[in-house]
Amino acid sequence: MPILDIKNLTLEMETGGTRVKALDRVNLSINSGEIRALVGESGSGKSLIVSAISGALPPQWHITADRMTWKGENLLSMRADERREIMRRDIAVVFQHPIAAMDPSTTLGEQLEESIPNELVEGKLFWQRKQSRRRTAIGLVHKVGIKNHEHYLNAFPHQISSDIGQKFMIAMALVSQPDLLIADDPTRGMETTTKTKVLKLLARLNQTKSLSILFVSHDLLAIASMAHTMTVLYCGQTVESGQMKHIRKRPLHPYTKALLDSAPSFRNDLPPKSYLPTLDGTIPTLQHVPIGCRLGPRCPRAQKQCVVTPAVRKVHDHTYSCHFPLHMDKL
Amino acid sequence: MINALSRYTILFTLTLLVLAVLSFALIYLFPGDPLTNLTGLVPQNDIQREALIRQFKLDQSYPIQFYHYLQQLFLGNWGYSFISGQPLREEIGIAMPATFELSTYAMVMALLIGVPVGCYAGLKSYTVSDYAINTASIFSYSFPVFWLALIFIMLFSLEAGIAPLSGRISLLFEIPNVTGFILIDILLAKNINHGLALIDAARHLVLPTMAIGLISTAAMIRITRRSVIDVMNSPFITAARSRGLSNRQIFMRHILRNALLAILPLMAIQVTTLITNAMIVETLFSWPGIGNWLINAINQRDYPALRIGVLAVSTMVITLTVLIDILNRLIDPSREKFERGTI
Amino acid sequence: TQSNQDAFYRSGIIYCSESNPINFNPQLDTSGTTSDASSHQIYGRLLDFNPDTGRIEASLASSWMVSDNGLSYEFQLRKGVAFHTTDYFSPTRTFNADDVIFSIDRWRLPSHPYHNVSGGRYAYFESLGIADNIQEVTRINSYRVRITLINRDSSFLANLATDFSVILSEEYAKQLMEKGIPERIDHYPIGTGPFKFQSYRKDHYIRYKRHEDFWRDVPLSERLIYDITPKSSLRLAKLITGECDAIAFPGQTEVEVIRQRDQLELAEKPGLNIGFWAFNTQKKPFDNPDVRRALAFAIDKNTLLEAVYFDSAVRAKTLLPTASWAHQRDADDTAYNPVLARKLLNDAGVPEGFRMTIWAMPVERAYNPNAAKMAELMQRYLADVGIRAEIVTYDWTTFRRHLREGLHDSVLIGWSADSGDPDNFYRPLLSCGAIPSGTNRAMWCNRKYDQLINAALKTEDIEQRKQIYQQVNSLLYEQLPLVPLAHAFRYQAHNASLSGMTINPYGGINFSGVEKKL
Amino acid sequence: MAQFSLYQEEFHPSPWQKTWREFRSSHIASLGLMILIFFLIFAIFAPLLAPYDPLQQNVNALFIPPSWNVNGTISHLFGTDALGRDLFSRIVYGCRVTLGSSILLVLLAMIVGVAIGTIAGMLQGVRSSVVNHLFDALMAIPTLLIAIVIVAILGTGLVNSMWAITLALTPQFVHHTRSLVRTEMKKEYVLASKLDGANHFQLFFYSILPNMIEMLVVQGTIALSIAVIDVSALGFLNLGARPPLPELGAMLADGMEVAYAAPWTVALPGLTIFLIVLAINIVGDGLRSALRKRLTQ
Amino acid sequence: MSELLKVSQLHFKHSNKKNWLKKPEIFELGPIDLDVKRGETIAIIGENRAGKSLLAKLLVGALKADSGQITLNNQYAPQGVQSTQISHDVRMIFQFSGEAMNPGLPVGKILDEPLRLNTSHNEKERRQLVEDVLIKVGLLREHVYFYRHMLSDGQQQRVALARALILQPKVLVADEPFAALDPSVRSQTVNLILKLQSEMGLAFIFISHNLGIVRHLADRIIVMENGQIVESGKTETIFRWPQHETTKKLILSYQSLVPQQTLR
Ligand SMILES: Nc1ncnc2c1ncn2[C@@H]1O[C@H](COP(=O)(O)OP(=O)(O)OP(=O)(O)O)[C@@H](O)[C@H]1O
Ligand SMILES: Nc1ncnc2c1ncn2[C@@H]1O[C@H](COP(=O)(O)OP(=O)(O)OP(=O)(O)O)[C@@H](O)[C@H]1O
Ligand SMILES: [Mg+2]
Ligand SMILES: [Mg+2]
């Protein structure tokens, strides 16, 4: 039983006078204790999914789904305060742009302390509670690998660099001891050492606290090192989803393959300075998505049928949507 | 911070110095006799004239004259009104607080009504009530203040007879000028019927305050609304929401704070507009404030009065703006540079 | 409580006046504003005009005698008339001969220690040449004074009854002189009038208090306040809202509004006044009578009358209004004739596009309720004959200061008579002696004219005087130093709750005997 | 070589064109613009539109009420004033004087302000901060004060009051230009241009100015509404345009003298000023929200 | 291979005194010695705030060094923004951000600017050059009319590249050119650079946190820490036998991420 289960999530919005489907029948489910990676190119709609789950979408956007449940409860039909309660207790989100996601007029410490749920604060009197909050905050900051807590807790968002910001966002997300952590590109721009530390922290939390994680990124290296399962998104459509190791070994969708191939780290057979395999072109803008399979024009295996949206197919727990999948002949 | 404060102080002094230089230059720029323009005194004969020139060091070089001028400014010797013969410091001491009082009430009105209504409109952005508020505010904001005041006079004074149209209080009351704020002075005054006087003064205050206040309130609503909408759309509010903070928490701790921080620098401009409007409205309501005084001075070609009056008002306005500026800097840590925005 | 409140609002009269007085001594200034604010309120005179009949009657002088040759006047003074007691002066004695002598000698004698205080110009007396005609003022006893004249002056008594011949306190003057602040006498006045001065704020108010020991037994309001309101529309508005109990110079367009309102009362009387357009004859090309005549022909007086006075005025041909006994019905008048005007201008060498200024009074006066509007109308007429007129206006005080300096090309102004005597028009307005005193706005000096009006004073024979004034009129028509425009009605508007308001034909407002009921 | 599938649009709107499209999509803003254009037409074609000479007095037609009043006549649409001048013609010319002079002075203030602001923005360090602070301080001085000083020195008159308002509006442009130039100068594309060897002048014209136009237009509308109000306020206070000149504020002050006999002489000029300012504000508002929309997209 | 760019004893000191209460944050860079050969690819790696971007800016002359010198083709290059020689031959691509392209100008104008300022070509020639370079970086001629908001991130990066290449530089300095790009676009860009290098003999200095790409692309690696070069050497050497602590940490953590089978 997945804790988060999304089926056929469609998101429509108005841009430039036309109504476009930014997300087109996206499926995503996360099991308890699982680290799921959500991969896709920039603009493929990853952050939109995150927003849809956290309920942070503008009201004028149309969001429909066959199913969108949290532990069996329907998120879409829920009252605002119930949903807020879930967000406060169970789900934590790390947004993509950490500095922008922090109140510019409040110190980091205050914001962090504010996020600590009341039930986790010890003491009755307000100064005791205050101290308790401070202690918790310092502990958290250390946990995510910030040493100089004095300096950073009293700093304002504009004074810190974005990697510190990301760490703070993670700390803020972890403070409420959630069941699910949604991390939108938490390691962007970090150098490798710090990145590894953060990833290790997440992995450890996953193991010790059985924290489920939805890990959004296009850093395949990071994903490959920690995720159990992976969902690949292209242009608002889920193209493939399944166990990490299966996908790595045998990607079924041409796009997934192209994605994996483009990371030189995955390929020990690649001679230095050789051309990397890649798909032609770039992701289309939302106003000009091709009909049917949205990869169509770029796909090396595209044929006539591709103008029809491919149905979701399933092999064991490996789902894909493609008319002409790879490796299928071998199966 | 002390660094910034000292920088402000230096720049502020510099600005005042520039103002002083300008007002000093006016002695020579205004038509007529520099001696009269400086002192407001008309020498009866040449001997007296010579004596005055020597006394005010007008026979010395410009820097020395200016130094002397500054000295006199500091000592409070601001010269005499050419027309009434009264010391200018006294006249300004009466007129300035009157304007200040009027502006203060209008500002309070703008804040008390403008900010909550603006917040409300911002929170309910793009709903019917928001459109209604927005339309009303853009209409009120477009009124030329003098016309608005006239309309008020016609409607409320002449037709309805609700409020009187001139002065600060019925002239039958004799209120000694202590603080310059009529309501306080009434409380300080002896031998009068305080209740009656307060009611009378309040009735006199209503229309001018409304006229200025309405425009400022409209401006305030627009600024606040814009600011609230901007803050609401900013990602950190989304983030706060997804952290499960309650609406109240978000509004009080994040939206309000950031919205008001953004409003503060704009208030500096509002203060200027407000005082300008107050000065214009004063002439219509015969409010004995600095605007009325200055307009009379210009009609009477009372150059010494003009010079000091302009210096005094601009000093007041600049001081207010700088104070708001400093305040803004004090309470808003995130703003690196203070930028003025628009409504 | 309600009754408390009523009593309070009834305790004072608020009069909306049109401008700032220059000081509180009408001897020093001919402006109606100054005398309105002082002569009848603060001061008393030896004689007064009866407001109804216009006759001279006793006032501080309880009786008087004129010698047969008409050169000596003896006044018996009223006893027990108290001067004001204020925070700046407490009198130790009542009114007596010393006060009369001081008051007259101040303007009469250039050697008098007070003569040069506050500028030393006594416009009214100078313009009429009265000072030079008085030989001496002698004290017979404490309550008896004799004034001896050099020449006969048929208007002398009338002049003593005008607003300008006020009685000051000699005791106060002495005190001030000792303290070395003599000019305070004109700013912190002491008199015997019904109200005592309390405070004055320029552009704002003048406060008076009841003079408890006023010698006349008339009801007096406890407080009198002048609310200085230069805009006539605003004055009317205040009258309507009840912020003023009476107003100065209601606008001609507003008369209807006042008539329609029940709670307002309007009194009207044909006024003894003249509104005119004076040229600065000391400036080129206005020193040329032909140019002046041309300009006079260029404007249509009837239109001005209609548009500015709304027919509440009579077209003026000469200086004298119809009510005056010396009024000449068949006097010559300039007619509207732009073609002739242009021709005269061409002949005089005034080019097309010539620029001149028309100074327009900033305040309403009985003789001209809206000088600015009149100036605008005239601007158009002058444009038709190729003259570009610029309208100049300043605040009233400044306006008159500059006028006296002769900065104007031409000015729209006028004169309200202070006594019914024709000399009160001819002399102050156009005699040579009136140039320095600043009432001769045309700055025109003509020997023959002066001789004629002097001759007119020497005789008591009305017919003979009429004859002389007809000569004067034709001289003026020839020379045209000013263009007479209109004799206007006098209006006075007040709240119906005021009782005892009278309208004074010679201008000047008087609040003694006025009471407010709610 | 990579093949691009190009999703070609019909035309390539520049940022400015995009803002314009956004602007036009708002009905209220378009309406405001139409009203403004209407007044502009009044201003430009006043001699053709006005049925009478605005200065022509007619003593036979004093205080004729507007045509919708029972006593009004159709030959004087808005009635006549105390001198029998046709109020409609005066208002048409009034638009010309008031709006026209406002536009002129805003343009002047804009040019001067942009010049100074750019210099201040490009100069770094103390000089700039002093200049900036002084201008900020000057900006705080109410127009009315500046006008009073100028009138005291030069005398009243429309042109003198225009100088005063120009002087008062300039700092605003200086300020905005300066802060815009400052933020632009920090951006990488400016650094890139600098690396290309562009001097200050070229930087300004090729890198900064194209991004400034919108700010200038928006700021211009704000300044214009202030200018119209100020011009008429000074006219109203008798510090600006002189009486016979049909300036709306001066006309209003004129009308006040006869407010009882002819209330329309107060109401109509006032209403005209109000409508002009309202139209400008609506247009400004529309522009700003269009700009905002474009930027958030 | 000939030495193209030689940097010796480059030193830069920057003290950041924003807050008077705290000690000024002093950052010192260098002294740095570095030489770049024709066609060579050098990667600069290091932790955040190690001074990598600073070094890049110094190299292209966007900042002026306090001391030390840069010689180009054995010619001493004067420091500072206005040095045309540098701007001609050493070009920079900025770290991708929304601000790398002027939003108010179309691509054509943007690409025209370096030509207009640095060459004496006439309008038509310039136009030709612009179109050529657009095609070279894989864009279309029509893109000259495009504004920033009409281009995707990858296309914007290509425009930046085109802008750098249009003057036919000898050295290209890039600050994290790949960081913000998607995998597929990133590969396209890598390929493009590789191709251009082989065609034009371009020396390429780039900063990256992505050690996978570094390993793939670079000939030499420079490791920086705290404004100092702590290690430099051939790519394979560094990856196999890191000497300095920082390098070791970097390489180790990289390898801990890389799936096991690649190491086998
Ligand atoms: N507020 C918005 N208004 C209009 N379009 C939007 C908005 N937010 C996102 N989009 C569009 O939705 C699509 C998906 O955006 P999203 O932010 O989810 O991409 P992403 O996968 O998170 O990319 P990245 O890896 O760069 O974060 C994009 O094409 C974007 O243009
Ligand atoms: N323009 C500048 N002038 C002087 N010093 C600067 C400038 N920009 C940044 N610095 C300082 O130089 C130091 C190095 O910053 P730099 O941006 O070079 O690091 P980096 O190695 O590129 O880091 P990252 O990997 O996060 O990009 C920082 O401490 C910063 O404060
Ligand atoms: Mg995203
Ligand atoms: Mg960097």
pLDDT digits (tens, 9 = 90+) for E200-231: 788 889 888 888 888 888 888 988 888 888 88
Query: Between chain A and chain B, are at least 3 CB pairs below 8 A?
Result: yes
Provide the β-strand partners of residue E48: none
- List, in order, residues 6 or more apart from B273 with CB less than 8 Å away: B215, B216, B219, D142
Residues in chain B closer than 8 A to D218 (CB atoms): 342
The token pair at A72 is: 């069996």
Instruction: Give the nearest partner residue to C370 out of D57, D59, D257, using CB atoms.
Output: D257
- pLDDT, average across residues A76-87: 82
Residue E22 has a pLDDT of: 52
Q: Which residues line ion ligand 3, judged by CB < 5 Å?
A: A 47, 96
Residue D36's pLDDT band (boundaries 50, 70, 90)?
Answer: very high
Please state, in angstroms and rounded to a whole number, the distance separating the CA atoms of residues D156 and B181.
Answer: 33
Residue E167 has a pLDDT of: 83
DSSP letter string, B188-226: H-SSS-HHHHHHHHHHHHHHHHHHHHHHHHHHHHHHHHH
Task: Work out the percent of chain A whose per-residue pLDDT is above 70.
Answer: 97
Residue B213's pLDDT band (boundaries 50, 70, 90)?
Answer: very high
The pairing of strands C134-141 and C144-149 is: antiparallel
Flag the least confident range among A209-213, B127-131, C497-501, D138-142: D138-142
Judged by its nearest atom, the ligand closest to the C-alpha of residue A217 is 1
| Shortest CA distance from D22: residue in chain A | A16
E187 in any annotated domain: yes
Ligand 1 atom, smallest distance to A285 CA: 29
Q: What is the ipTM of this complex?
A: 0.85
Residues in chain D closer than 8 A to A235 (CB atoms): none
Cα distances (angstroms) measured from residue C420 to each of C69, C273, C324, C507: 22, 10, 7, 11
Smallest Cα distance from B3 to chain E, Å: 7
Is B302's pLDDT higher than 70? yes
Residues in chain C closer than 8 A to B172 (CB atoms): 8-9, 11-12, 14, 223, 225
Q: Are A307 and A292 in contact (CB under 8 A)?
A: yes
Contact check, Cβ <8 Å, B334/A115: no
Contact check, Cβ <8 Å, B261/A105: yes
Most confident of C472-486, D136-150, E51-65, E161-175: C472-486
E227 in any annotated domain: yes
User: Tokens 């530390």 map to which residue?
Assistant: A197
Please state, in angstroms and rounded to a whole number, the distance separating the CA atoms of residues C91 and C78.
Answer: 17
Instruction: Give the nearest partner residue to B236 out of A81, A87, A102, using CB atoms.
Output: A102
φ, ψ at E81 (rounded to 5°)? -60, -35
pTM listed for this prediction:
0.86
The token pair at C176 is: 């001030």
pLDDT digits (tens, 9 = 90+) for B121-160: 998 888 899 999 999 999 999 999 999 999 998 888 888 8
- Amino acid symbol at A230: M
Residue A329's pLDDT band (boundaries 50, 70, 90)?
Answer: low
Q: Name which of D238, E98, D129 is nearest C393 in CA terms.
A: D238
Task: Work out the percent of chain D whose per-residue pLDDT is above 70.
Answer: 92
From the candidates B170, B191, B204, B281, which should be mutated to test the interface with C, based on the most C CB atoms within 10 A?
A: B170
Atom 24 (ligand 2) nearest CA: E48
Residue E86 has a pLDDT of: 58
Residue D3's pLDDT band (boundaries 50, 70, 90)?
Answer: very low
Q: Are C115 and C185 in contact (CB under 8 A)?
A: no
pLDDT digits (tens, 9 = 90+) for E88-104: 778 888 876 667 788 88
A287 touches ligand 1 (CB under 6 Å): no
Q: Are A258 and A277 in contact (CB under 8 A)?
A: yes
Is A317's pLDDT higher than 90? no
A45 touches ligand 1 (CB under 6 Å): yes
Mean pLDDT per block of 10 residues along chain C (518 residues) reads: 79 88 87 86 89 83 89 91 92 92 91 86 83 89 91 85 90 91 89 91 89 87 89 86 87 82 84 89 89 91 84 85 84 88 90 91 84 88 90 84 89 84 86 84 90 85 87 90 88 86 76 83
Residue B260 has a pLDDT of: 85
Q: Are B247 and B256 in contact (CB under 8 A)?
A: no
Residue E25 has a pLDDT of: 64
Ligand 1 atom, smallest distance to A46 CA: 21
Residue E186 has a pLDDT of: 80
| Shortest CA distance from C400: residue in chain B | B300
Residue A105's pLDDT band (boundaries 50, 70, 90)?
Answer: confident
Q: Are B57 and B72 in contact (CB under 8 A)?
A: no
pLDDT digits (tens, 9 = 90+) for C251-286: 777 888 888 888 888 888 777 889 999 999 998 889
Residue E260 has a pLDDT of: 58
pLDDT digits (tens, 9 = 90+) for D153-200: 888 888 888 988 898 888 888 888 888 888 888 888 888 887 777 778
Query: Between chain A and chain D, are at least 3 CB pairs below 8 A?
Result: yes
Residue E174 has a pLDDT of: 87
Please state, in angstroms and rounded to a whole number, the distance separating the CA atoms of residues C133 and D141.
Answer: 59
E102 in any annotated domain: no
Helices D87-122 and D27-44 pack at an angle, to 10 degrees, of 110
Exposed/middle/buried for residue E14 (C-beta within 10 Å: 0-12, 13-18, 19+): middle
- pLDDT, average across residues A92-114: 84
Contact check, Cβ <8 Å, A156/B333: yes
Superfamily of chain region D26-54+74-296? MetI-like (1.10.3720.10)
Helix (H, G, I), strand (E, B) or coil at D113: helix
Is D282's pLDDT higher than 90? yes
Range of the domain at E35: 3-96+171-263
E46 in any annotated domain: yes
Residues D60, D62, D68, D71, CA torsion sign = negative
Tell me the CA–centroid distance for residue E181 and ligand 4, in Å. 16
The token pair at E13 is: 């000191």
Is D9's pLDDT higher than 70? no
Residues in chain B closer than 8 A to E20 (CB atoms): 1-3
H-helix segments, chain E: 52-60, 84-89, 107-118, 123-136, 153-165, 183-200, 211-217, 235-240, 245-257, 260-263
Smallest Cα distance from C263 to chain B, Å: 14
pLDDT digits (tens, 9 = 90+) for C188-199: 999 999 999 999
The token pair at B165 is: 């149209």
Q: Are B241 and B250 in contact (CB under 8 A)?
A: yes
Contact check, Cβ <8 Å, D259/C251: no
- pLDDT, average across residues E167-188: 80
Is D52's pLDDT higher than 50? yes
Residue D125 has a pLDDT of: 59
Q: Are B279 and B290 in contact (CB under 8 A)?
A: yes
CATH number, domain containing residue E253: 3.40.50.300
Smallest Cα distance from B187 to chain D, Å: 32
Residue A330's pLDDT band (boundaries 50, 70, 90)?
Answer: very low
Number of domains into which chain E is organized: 1
Residue D5 has a pLDDT of: 42
Q: Look over chain A and give the mean of its residue pLDDT values, rounded to a whole number.
A: 82
H helix or E strand, kind and range, residue C227: strand C223-228
E189–A contact, CB cutoff 8 A: no
Residue E76's pLDDT band (boundaries 50, 70, 90)?
Answer: low
Q: Are C285 and C390 in contact (CB under 8 A)?
A: no
The token pair at D76 is: 């004087």
| Shortest CA distance from B337: residue in chain E | E18
pLDDT digits (tens, 9 = 90+) for D102-113: 999 999 999 999
Smallest Cα distance from B140 to chain C, Å: 25
pLDDT digits (tens, 9 = 90+) for E234-253: 888 888 888 888 888 888 88
Q: How many CB atoms lie under 10 A from the CB of residue A14? A: 11
From the candidates B29, B155, B293, B298, which should be mutated to test the interface with D, based on the most D CB atoms within 10 A?
A: B298
Atom 10 (ligand 2) nearest CA: E54
pLDDT digits (tens, 9 = 90+) for D234-272: 999 888 887 778 889 988 988 888 888 888 888 899 999
Residue A247 has a pLDDT of: 83
Q: How many CB atoms lie under 10 A from the CB of residue B63? A: 8
E161 in any annotated domain: no
Contact check, Cβ <8 Å, C303/D59: yes
Please state, in angstroms and rounded to a whole number, the distance separating the CA atoms of residues E93 and E56.
Answer: 10
